Amino acid sequence: MSRGLLEVVVVAASGLPNVDFLTDKIDPYVVVQYKGQERKTSIARGQGGNPEWHQKLTFRAEYPGSGSDYHINLKLMDHDTFSSDDFIGQTMINVEDLLGLGVENGSYEMNPTKFRVIGNDKSYHGEIKVGVKFTKTSDYNGDEEEFGGWKNSYGDESDD
Ligand SMILES: *[C@@H]1O[C@H](CO)[C@@H](O)[C@H](O)[C@H]1NC(C)=O
């Protein structure tokens, strides 16, 4: 089993529909979820359908895993000040191969790539450009006691 850091770079989106009929320009942000961890980008205020974030969000990851352990979910939302935020659409990135290659190579990076954003009605709601990088920080055999005091130079004692 290997552990490491998964860095998700949310670059920009384009062609997002205006889901808020009260304004000309939506205020989009992205909620990124990975294995029970959740991070958000800042709100691209007034940027409408073609927002830019250029933000890196970091998650803890392990390999191997199973099923949904390999899915990064990105949910695009429109921030509203006086009402609840509107859902724009979502996309999912499968990182199984990326994690496997990262464990083999020490690190592995997928350059920013465009993914289709899908709305609630399953229709095309624009696209989002995202890069992903995995960096291995340690290996263990399940029973960490066996290492008896050995520590990887990166450490990960803060892990829970
Ligand atoms: C493989 O690891 C090297 C050294 O860490 C890194 O420079 C390179 O980008 C990695 N390969 C890929 C495809 O990410």
7 has pLDDT over 70:
yes
State whether the beta carbon of 7 lies less than 6 angstroms from ligand 1. Answer: no
Predicted confidence (pLDDT) per residue in 98-137, tens digit: 999 999 999 999 999 999 999 999 999 999 999 999 999 9
Q: How confident is the model at residue 143 (pLDDT cuts 50, 70, 90)?
A: low
Q: What percent of the chain has pLDDT over 70?
A: 88
pLDDT of 142 reads 57
Out of 9, 97, 105, 137, give the residue to mutate to test ligand 1, the one with the largest number of ligand atoms within 8 Å of its CB.
105
* Residue 92 structure tokens: 């999912």
pLDDT of 23 reads 84
Q: Which residue has the tokens 């290997």?
A: 2
Where do the DSSP E strands lie in the chain? 2-14, 28-34, 37-40, 52-63, 71-78, 86-94, 107-118, 124-139
Handedness of CA 108, 54, 40, 157 (dihedral sign): positive
* Residue 10 structure tokens: 């949310």
Assigned CATH class of 2-140:
mainly beta
State whether the beta carbon of 50 lies less than 6 angstroms from ligand 1. Answer: no
147 has pLDDT over 60:
no
Predicted confidence (pLDDT) per residue in 21-53, tens digit: 888 899 999 999 999 999 999 999 999 999 999
Domain ranges (residues) in the chain: 2-140
